[in-house]
Amino acid sequence: PLDDAGMPRELAPVVDAFNALLGRIEAGARAQDEFRANVAHQLRTPLAGLQLQLEWLAARHATDPDSARSLGLMLQANARMIRQTNQLLSLERAEPNRFARSRLLPVDLAELVAESIQHFVESAAAKDIDLGFELEAAPLQGDRFLLRDLVDNLVDNALRYTPTGGRVTVACGAGGEGGSFLRVEDNGPGIPPHLRTRVFERFVRLDEQTTGSGLGLAIVRDIANLHGADLVLGEPEAGSGAVFTVHFP
């Protein structure tokens, strides 16, 4: 709000009205954030339970082609819902007003990346994608949970847009000026020039064929900003694809 100390009396009503408007905008934004977080929290448990039940049914009816196909589609849809719910929770954690610098502790990015990659081995194998990694010690001060969200979203994004038989490489290490870096490179179609300035905005998707909510890279941007890191979008030295690099101080 504007400080009305020393303000001419004639301008006081204008300042009061402006401050009241700012207050309403802030309250509305806070209410939206709380609603989004509450919905995501409430959805997590029933969706997880539904996933278990669907997996049980799929195993029981594996020999019935029609049932197996229908249950497979339901499992995919529920998995997408779980993914989107988790992304909403990630957005909540990455809100600046919820970020506590007291949670910044020593973290080695190499350990986080190694943990993250294990969760993507199956999805990479399903598309015959060569998921590789080049990990060196990359110490920094950070929020472990948020950094894991950052890594997961970058790897997930690369796997989604890399075609069958493609390649995704995740690397991290110490930077040249005392910091650390994380790099995720793929040989997918790359990002069209007209989307490069918008790709980190919420709900922006590269195409309509690839499933996703359009939140992943926005989450990456927000978490990088909270850690004072630079997020750079580049291209591979040879061939098509995209290279996302996060430079941590």
Nearest by Cα to 146 from 231, 200, 89: 89
For residues 168 and 184, the answer to whether their CB atoms sit within 8 Å is yes
Range of the domain at 117: 102-248
pTM of the predicted structure, to 2 decimals: 0.69
Would the CA dihedral through 65, 163, 169, 189 be positive or negative?
A: negative
Residue at 89: amino acid letter: L
Residues 241 and 127 in one domain: yes
What pLDDT sits at residue 122? 86
Per the structure, how many domains does the chain have? Answer: 2
Residues 66 and 138 in one domain: no
What pLDDT sits at residue 185? 94
Angle at 18 between CA 16 and CA 23, to 5 degrees: 95
- Distance, in Å, from the CA atom of 62 to the CA atom of 249, rounded to the nearest integer, reads 51
Residues 74 and 127 in one domain: no
DSSP one-letter code for 120: T
What pLDDT sits at residue 230? 92
Residues 68 and 160 in one domain: no
Domain membership of residue 5 (yes or no) is no
- Distance, in Å, from the CA atom of 88 to the CA atom of 91, rounded to the nearest integer, reads 5
Domain membership of residue 4 (yes or no) is no
Q: Say how many CA atoms lie within 13 Å of 220 toward its Cβ.
A: 27
What pLDDT sits at residue 207? 65
What pLDDT sits at residue 125? 92
For the chain, how many residues are written? 249
Residues 111 and 82 in one domain: no
Whichever domain contains 40, its CATH number is 1.10.287.130
What pLDDT sits at residue 93? 67
Residues 84 and 112 in one domain: no
What pLDDT sits at residue 30? 65
DSSP one-letter code for 206: S
Domain membership of residue 3 (yes or no) is no
Residues 114 and 86 in one domain: no
What pLDDT sits at residue 210? 58
Residues 50 and 131 in one domain: no
What pLDDT sits at residue 171? 94
Among 70, 93, 116, the domain boundary falls at 93
Secondary structure class of 199 (helix, strand, coil): coil
**What are the pLDDT tens digits along the chain (249 aa)?**
677 777 777 777 787 787 788 878 777 766 666 666 666 667 767 888 888 888 899 888 888 888 888 988 888 788 777 777 777 777 666 666 666 665 788 899 999 999 888 888 888 999 999 999 999 989 898 888 889 889 988 998 899 889 999 999 999 998 777 789 999 999 988 888 777 778 888 766 666 655 656 778 888 888 898 888 999 998 887 778 899 999 998
Nearest by Cα to 95 from 241, 235, 218, 211: 218
Domain membership of residue 2 (yes or no) is no
